[in-house]
Amino acid sequence: MNVRTRRVPAPAERSSRLQVLALPLAYVLASTPGCAETSSSSSAQQQVECDAEPLVRTTGEGVEFVRTPSGCFESLPGFDYELQSVEIDGLRQGYVDEGPADAPVVLLLHGQPTWSYLYRKMIPVLVDSGYRAIAMDHVGMGSSDKPIDITYYSYLGHIDRLEKFIEALGLREINVFVQDWGSLIGLHVAGENPDWFARIVVGDGTLPVVPEGIEPYPRVENPDELDRDLEFVFQLIPPQQFPFYDEDCNLIGGTGTDFGAWMEYAMKAEAFHASEVVEALTWFDIPADEEAAYDAPFPSRLYMTGPRTFPSLVNELGGANQQAWAGLMQFDRPFLTIWSSNDPGNLGSCATQDRLIDNIPGAAGLPHTRLPESSHFLQDDQGAEIARRIVELIEST
């Protein structure tokens, strides 16, 4: 791979949360592989401290990116997994691959602003049950490379990379679990390539169909401007979450969060960091060391372009999903929904879950559920139970 590099000074100011990430957290990536090859950690590779000056690299196609220092992924609690990568379009796509290579595949797709760490409670259950668990990090997230220009990221670009990832690893008869933006990406790929998938399981997600030419929300103005004063409702939710729904599945006292405000906060707020969002949108309090692990891929704002831009990609949905949704409405293999009982966003609503159940043939007759004591990031709240239900689905169908 033709990669140019230049060093840039570490930011003079970082949020206090991101400064914590200078702790010795690390994994080691092998040298960059070819497009159809993978690489994994190796003690022979030189480790890079998490607080090292950012090194801006450039692909042969002129895309500038940073790679999270290996020191940021060491000794993450509950995540003793070898991080691997495959090169796609000159950028490393990171992933975890556990279990027998010839076992049935369970592909796990995260959303924003998380990474494969979100699946630390599901992977061991799947592997112990005899399956191959693959948790992929979207570009700009986790152990994947991180382009630094917001214009690099696009909805269809994420879809294209997932398709290339599946092809590079030669995956077929896939059992997939998708959540949040992982569902908007994964369900699109499944709708257009249904023969790749044996079963689909969705947790708090969907595939929106937006008319062509429609942008649902105003674009964020001055997106690269750093705003030290922006706040968001997540900051008001206590570590131990309180109930958002009544017994009839109606939101108590409101209509949920303002997504346009979320787009602006994620893109511009100095205070924005991954663990803040995960802590707010989980039922249980997350220990401090696990919060730091969610932030580990992002030692400074330079590394955060991916999670910053994800919410704004909603304005790229116009005309993008009609064909994929039509494909999903013909999907007659098992299609299971496992929802949380306390997600205040649109993806967690009963209406969103019912739309999938009512329109996709493979959903008929399956044990759809809303798990108690769980919120938007239900993999963190109830990961072992979700994995158990996935295993049960595979073995019963």
Q: Considering only CA atoms, which of 95, 92, 93 is closest in space to residue 1? A: 92
pLDDT value for 37:
41
Mean pLDDT, to the nearest integer, of 134-160?
Answer: 98
Q: Among 295, 343, 380, 381, which one carries the catalytic annotation?
A: 343
DSSP structure string for 148-165: S-GGG--HHHHHHHHHHH
Mean pLDDT of the chain: 90
> Which residue in this structure is represented by tokens 């998708």?
178
The band of 47, judged by pLDDT with boundaries at 50, 70 and 90, is confident
pLDDT value for 256:
62
Mean pLDDT, to the nearest integer, of 6-28?
Answer: 38
Strands 197-203 and 335-340: parallel
Contact 93, 136 (CB under 8 A): yes
pLDDT value for 28:
27
CB neighbours of 79 closer than 8 A, spacing ≥ 6?
117, 120, 293
Residue 29 in this model has a pLDDT that exceeds 50: no
Residue 217 in this model has a pLDDT that exceeds 60: yes
Mean pLDDT, to the nearest integer, of 366-375?
Answer: 98
pLDDT value for 125:
98
Contact 227, 269 (CB under 8 A): yes
Residue 128 in this model has a pLDDT that exceeds 90: yes
Residue type, 3: V
Residue 22 in this model has a pLDDT that exceeds 70: no
Q: Among 97, 137, 145, 180, which one carries the catalytic annotation?
A: 180
pLDDT value for 234:
85
pLDDT value for 321:
98
The band of 366, judged by pLDDT with boundaries at 50, 70 and 90, is very high
Mean pLDDT, to the nearest integer, of 217-238?
Answer: 94
pLDDT value for 310:
98
**Beta partners for residue 83, in sequence order:** 96
Lookup: tokens for 80: 């003793």
Hey, what's the torsion of the CAs at 25, 28, 32, 38, to 10 degrees?
Answer: -110
Q: Is 376 one of the catalytic residues?
A: yes
SS3 label, residue 64 = strand
**Which stretch of 12-21, 254-263, 299-308 has the lowest confidence by average pLDDT?**
12-21
Hey, what's the torsion of the CAs at 360, 205, 310, 300, to 10 degrees?
Answer: -150
Lookup: tokens for 306: 């991916």
**What is the rounded CA–CA span in Å between residue 64 and residue 266?**
21
Residue type, 42: S
Strands 105-109 and 132-136: parallel
Q: Is 343 one of the catalytic residues?
A: yes
Query: Packing angle between helix 181-192 and helix 155-169, nearest 10 degrees?
Result: 60
The band of 66, judged by pLDDT with boundaries at 50, 70 and 90, is very high
pLDDT value for 378:
98
Lookup: tokens for 128: 């112990």
The band of 253, judged by pLDDT with boundaries at 50, 70 and 90, is confident
Q: Considering only CA atoms, which of 202, 169, 211, 172 is closest in space to residue 184? A: 202
The band of 192, judged by pLDDT with boundaries at 50, 70 and 90, is very high
Q: Among 138, 158, 273, 376, which one carries the catalytic annotation?
A: 376
DSSP structure string for 69-83: -TTBTTT-TT----E
Residue 363 in this model has a pLDDT that exceeds 80: yes
pLDDT value for 1:
52
Q: Is 160 one of the catalytic residues?
A: no
Residue 209 in this model has a pLDDT that exceeds 80: yes
CB neighbours of 21 closer than 8 A, spacing ≥ 6?
50, 72, 292, 295, 296, 298, 299
Element (H, E) at 167: helix 155-169
Neighbours of 194 (CB within 10 A): 17
Lookup: tokens for 235: 């900051």
CA 270 to chain CA mean position, Å = 21
Is residue 242 exposed (0-12), middle (13-18) or buried (19+ Cβ within 10 Å)? exposed
**Beta partners for residue 176, in sequence order:** 107, 200
Residue 235 in this model has a pLDDT that exceeds 90: no
**Which stretch of 17-26, 59-68, 280-289, 382-391 has the lowest confidence by average pLDDT?**
17-26
Residue 7 in this model has a pLDDT that exceeds 60: no
State the number of CA atoms in the 13 A half-sphere of 145 facing the CB: 24
- The pTM assigned to this predicted structure is 0.90
pLDDT value for 79:
98
Strand order in the sheet with 55-58: 4-7, 55-58, 64-66, 146-147
The band of 346, judged by pLDDT with boundaries at 50, 70 and 90, is very high
CATH 3.40.50.1820, applies to 98-396: yes
pLDDT value for 8:
57
pLDDT value for 255:
59
